[in-house]
Structure 1
């Protein structure tokens, strides 16, 4: 017989105490400890009595005591449910005033983590949030059909573990896609599939960092999860300034051994790393035997002329790890990214992947492989490039026509967001107080920085907001700023 409770109940033998008292006390302790979750229904009294070999009246009396004490809530014509007891024991452990966790059993880094998970922001569906693509124009019917096909094929195979580096069909499809879309020179064997770009950064940090020794240059401002991955691995972070030509390569310290960069569309300013700096960066890496991590998170969406070659394309010395993701071109919940790795690092990187996460899901990989192979990804990107381009034009037009006295767009030719600098830093606090509540989802670039920046700016995402809504929002901001 299946147990009625997923924890042991020890009832006294005859003559050693009342069964009712023992059952009541053990159930009450389970409720307080959270082993019986708030809102869950208590098993039927007949079922409990039969499973424990006791009289039903004993169980009824124990339940009545729980209800009388407020540990359970009766329901007319239905089973009683476990109450949400305010006095439950806090199982999270002690916390410091700064929000860290005071427990010496934990790794010191995770007592006050570099990047703490935040609850999802409550934003309207149509807003200026960064990094989110528009689901309304996604070919859902195509994805459902390919999913059904992949499930049928998968059901005919053995339920075995796929390769750590990803299934062959997806790695081949990714290699062909990045060669066509970004001129990245690679073959299927160079590709390692990951659970999103964030896992790619974590794997590279594990592979390349000697704790307490390796210096890693990161953009300032830059993408916080990249910094967190390398800090967690024990790297010594070196924040590097960014200007309108991207990372200031000439300021790189000679002892830096890893450089993380977003050359196609700097996160968050949106600028592109100039060709001269791309060459200078690769020259620095060659001379100093350093490694470059190229994060090309939304480079498919290009709105200017011919894009500059990827660093991986220019690399002749096997120095660049190219990281890509499908979170922007398709959707974040897909959780698929990839690394194009130099041949010398491939086997070691697969070993790291196997230790951290032995494989990605087979069905999801198969669907994505078919979606790319059959040309659906290329068509979707072309379609969305036109839609996002219209929104980008509306944003630039609104910044020029409505907010030009206060803000200046930062040059940007790609991606799903752009930024605008506040012309007068002295007015920045007043502008931000008035503007940000009218721009849901927009952020300041200080949100991406380790330290406050001398030139304040606001980042605007246009992935999930229509062109006409952009104009309306910016006109509201203009009216709010006219008193300044």
Structure 2
């Protein structure tokens, strides 16, 4: 066959570019097989997914002009595809590709079965505790952890700043931004954490990340020597932290947590990295005491170790003045401070940051560039303006007033209706609180009734590497209204009445 046309290249005189975004090879005019070949090649493209279900085919006149064939040839090929069910005609509009998934499956070559246990996968990603849980089908108003209330977000302000950013971006924003984040946002973050948490830093010390999870991943890449570095993590603790360090080849050291936070006196001498959530421990909610903060920094100084401070839920305080951040107390450049805007603003923003010691910031920027050469400019610019103009600080104050009565209602219910079964864990910050199950023997029965009456609440065991000795439950109140909390806890208490109590 003599090829005369490659549809992946623009046809001569066609201002709209390629007719099809894949090659077509047709015989020369007069060959007598033009319609057959066009039909067969379009049919093959539909079956293997190059022409996706629902895609509109180009008009016959344009295809004919682009291929250099008669329009009747294209019409005939289209009619054959319609007759066979590969195209769906539409009155007054272009034909679209039909859903032929079942036929495509029959054509697909047989392959070796693959799945989570497939030996071709890195063994790490076959480890069950690292697999993400599927999203749970929960009502909008529930006791889910870590979700802020969108009804109180200043949508109009965000839209206005977005419009202003887009107007400026259309003139200047088409180049690659710096991998560590645009200067305006880095400066705004530095000023914000200095004001809100007394974290001493400048914009040059800040690296912008895609949420806290990317921050953990970057630090794991930077600080871990595979198979050698021993990393202490809280037990129970935030599973994505464990996943990031395990993926980097670290040897994980689970360290218990009690009413004062991480048990610093149980840290092994060879721990070289310690990950901690001192402001509002995830998931118990306790704060790392000042005594232990100092002990942790002293341990790191003596053992030449490094501390990763995840300031989880640190924005929302309901008690006394917050304890100083570890980064604030650090005088030796030992602390990497991580923050995120997922709780104070909204999770889909996907913006977090690392404040790095000066000795590490160039290396961290290099790691960020290798993993993610740049973050998007538009949302960075909007967020920078939102912080710079004082909207973030005002929004946090407003949401603290929204969350406070919800927290009080939940505490009151734990101290009243649910007191026979649950004991609140002291907590003065964040968007969730936890309670221990008084009688561990009743834990299975209590947890079995939890989803029906308080959907979204979670067992602390979901955050632990091994079964906790003292089972507990974490209740979020970010999207649980006050008038929903008391009826839910009363119904939960009634369901527990028949199983006994201490």
Q: Same fold (TM over 0.5)?
A: yes
**Aligned in 2, Cα 1:363/1:92: closer, same or farther, shift over 3 Å?**
farther
Asked if 1:442 is matched to 2:457, the reply is yes
| CA 1:346–1:83: 2 relative to 1, 3 Å | same
| Distance in 2, Cα, partners of 1:15 & 1:370 | 66
After TM superposition, list the pairs within 5 Å mapping 1:113-262 onto structure 2: 115-157=130-172, 159-262=174-277
Q: Which residue of 2 aligns with 1:361?
A: 376
* Distance (Å, rounded) in 2 between the aligned partners of 1:46 and 1:153: 41
Contact 2:281–2:312, Cα closer than 8 Å, also in 1: no
- The within-5 A match list for 1:32-431 is 32-84=47-99, 85-89=101-105, 94-96=112-114, 99-103=116-120, 107-110=122-125, 115-157=130-172, 159-431=174-446
Indicate if the aligned counterparts of 2:125 and 2:131 stay in contact, CA closer than 8 A: no
- Matched residue SS, 2:44: helix
Question: C-alpha offsets along residues 304-340 of structure 1, whole Å, 9 cap, x if unaligned?
Answer: 1111111111112111101011111111122221111
Cα deviations by residue, 1:253-296 (Å, 9 ceiling, x for unpaired): 11111111101111111111122221221111111111100000
2:89, 2:389 → 1: CA distance? 57
Structure 1 unaligned residues grouped into runs of 5+? none
Is 1:456 the counterpart of 2:471 in the alignment?
yes
Question: 2:142 aligns to what SS in structure 1?
Answer: coil
Find the aligned partners of 1:119 and 1:39 in 2 and give their Cα distance. Answer: 28
CA RMSD of the aligned region, Å? 2.3
CA change 1:92–1:164 in 2 (3 A) is farther
Normalising by structure 2, what TM-score? 0.90
Q: Hey, what's the Cα distance between the residues in 2 that align with 1:146 and 1:186?
A: 26
Out of 33, 43, 46, the residue aligned to residue 18 of structure 1 is 33
Q: Tell me how far apart the structure 1 counterparts of residues 375 and 332 of structure 2 sit (CA, whole Å).
A: 30
Give the CA deviation at 1:191: 1.6
- Over 4 Å off, 4+ runs: 14-17, 89-97, 110-114
Secondary structure in 1 aligned to 2:498?
A: coil
Q: Which residue of 1 aligns with 2:18?
A: 3
Name the stretch that deviates more: 293-302 or 445-454: 445-454
CA offset at residue 117 of structure 1? 4.3
Q: Distance in 2 between matches of 1:406 and 1:163?
A: 53
Q: TM-score, normalised by structure 1?
A: 0.93
Number of the residue aligned with 2:10 = none
